[in-house]
Amino acid sequence: YSHHSAYESLIGNTPCILLPNLSEVVGRQIYVKMESWNPGGTGKDRAAACMIATAEASGLLPDPIKRGTEDFELTLHLHQGSFASADDGDSDMDLICEAMQHSITGGLVVEGTSGSTGIALAALAAVKGHACLVVLPDDQAGEKRVMLEVLGAVVHVVPTAAIANPNHYVNVASRLAARAASLGVQAVFINQFENLANFAVHFETTGPEIWRQCRPDTFVMSAGTGGTIAGVAKHLKENGKCRIVLVDPAGSVLYSKVEHGVAFASQQSERVLLRHRYDSIAEGIGLDRITKNMEQGLPFVDNAITVSDQEAVDMAHFILRHEGLLVGSSTAMNLVGAVRAALQLPSGSARVCTVICDSGQRHVTRFWNREFIHSRGLQWPRDGVGRIPECLQGVM
Ligand code: PMP
C-alpha cells in the first residue's frame, strides 16, 4: 500500500513482544503481534488500505484526491449538487444520496462489516476523498457505530440474519453498491470476506514481520474473514516448520472444518443459536461458511481449538492483572489458544506467537461490562476470589 497520508504511513510494522509473565507461568515463550497499534486500532487497517488501493488501481474507484493541486471545495459542491434530492420512501436511494454528499472524488466505498474494517475504511475514505457507506449488524458494540459516524461514514444498521438471507448485512452492502453503480456512481463493494487483497496484504506484510520479529514454532490465530491467519500461515509455512493453530469460538464452523473436514457447528443441529451467525460473545471472529480468504489458509492449518466465552473472559481479566493489557474478546480467545498450543511444545525455549487484534476500549459495553457478562449466564472474574482460566489451572 502507498504512504500518501499520516494514516497510511502508520499502518503495519507493529511491535511483536514477549509477554513476560504469561511466558513465565506457562514455561514457554509467548509472543504477541500488536495489531492493535495500527492507526485504526486493528490489523484491518492493512486489509482496508490494500483493498482500497486495489480498487483504485483497477479503476473501480476514482483516483484519490491530490492535495494541493485540486480545488476540493469546487469538486465537493459538484457532487453534492447531483445527490441533493433523495427519493422519498426509497431507503437505499436515501442512504446512497446521504453518503455521496461527502464524496469529493465521486467514489463510494461500500462495505458490510461487524465494525473494525469499517473504521479503517472510513478513515481511509476520508483522507482519499471517497464517500463511505457501512452496513452493520445490530449485535455489535455500540461504540463502533459511534466511531464510524465520527469518521464521516454513513451507517446503516440491520438485524442479524443468516448469510443465505438477502437481508444479511453483507448482502445488503452488495445490493447498495450495485444500486449506486446503476446510478452512475463509481461505487465499490469492498467484500472483505471474498476479496483476496485482504489475504495478500497479510501474506506480504504481517507474515514476514512476524517471522523477522520472533520466528515462532507455532502461530495461533482466530479467523474473522480468515485474511490474517491465511496470509500469515502461508508465509510462515513457506519459511520453515511453523505449526499453525486456528482458534474458533462456539457456533463457528471452522473448528469442525479443520478437525473433521466438514464445515458444521453443533449448534446448527441443536437449534440453540443465540444469534444467527454464531453463538458466542466474541466479536469479529467465527464464520458460518468458508470464505475465499479462509480457503487460502486452510491447507496450512494443522489443528483447531475451540474456546468458550467463559475462558475468554477469565483470560482477559488474567492478562490485565498479569501484563497490564486491556484486550478485546477475539484477543482473549487467541491467548487461550496460545497457552494451549504452547503446552504442547517442550518447555523452555519453544516460541508461540499470537495476535492482539484490538484493545478492550472497543468493548466497554459488552465484553468488559459486568452486567452484560452476567446476562449471558457467565461469571465476572472480579466477583469472587479470582478466576484462573481453565488452560492455566494445571500449570499455576
Ligand atoms: N478480531 C478483531 C477484533 C480484528 O480486528 C481482526 C482483524 N484484525 C480479527 C479478529 C481477525 O480478522 P481476519 O480473520 O478478518 O483477518
* pLDDT tens-digit readout, 40-96: 999 999 999 999 999 999 999 999 987 765 555 555 555 656 666 555 678 899 999
Question: Which atom, in ligand 1's list, is nearest to the CA of 41?
Answer: 5
Say which range, 113-122, 212-221, 330-339, has the weakest mean pLDDT. Answer: 113-122
Q: Which residue has the higher pLDDT, 230 or 70?
A: 230
Mutation test residue for ligand 1: of 33, 37, 42, the one with most atoms within 8 Å of CB:
42
In this prediction, residue 74 carries a pLDDT of 55
d(CA 171, CA 175): 6
Tens-digit pLDDT profile for residues 157-192: 999 888 888 999 999 999 999 999 999 999 999 999
Backbone angles phi, psi at 28, to 5 degrees: -140, 160
The H or E element spanning position 187 is strand 186-189
Say which range, 180-194, 275-289, 310-324, has the weakest mean pLDDT. Answer: 275-289
The H or E element spanning position 123 is helix 116-128
Q: What is the DSSP letter of 262?
A: S
The one-letter amino acid code at 272 reads V
Question: Which atom, in ligand 1's list, is nearest to the CA of 35?
Answer: 8
The H or E element spanning position 260 is helix 254-260
Mutation test residue for ligand 1: of 38, 195, 281, 285, the one with most atoms within 8 Å of CB:
285
Nearest to 354 by CA among 59, 19, 47, 3: 19
In this prediction, residue 295 carries a pLDDT of 97
d(CA 170, CA 113): 7
d(CA 73, CA 59): 23
Question: Which atom, in ligand 1's list, is nearest to the CA of 358?
Answer: 3
> What SS3 class is residue 241?
coil
What is the average per-residue pLDDT within 287-301? 95
Q: Tell the residue nearest (CA) to atom 12 of ligand 1.
A: 224
Contacts of 360 (CB under 8 A, 6+ apart): 316, 320, 326, 327, 328, 367, 368
The H or E element spanning position 365 is none
Q: Are 156 and 92 in contact (CB under 8 A)?
A: no
Q: Is the CB of 256 under 6 A from ligand 1?
A: no
Dihedral, 81, 83, 88, 91 alpha carbons, nearest 10 = -160
Mutation test residue for ligand 1: of 33, 225, 335, 362, the one with most atoms within 8 Å of CB:
225
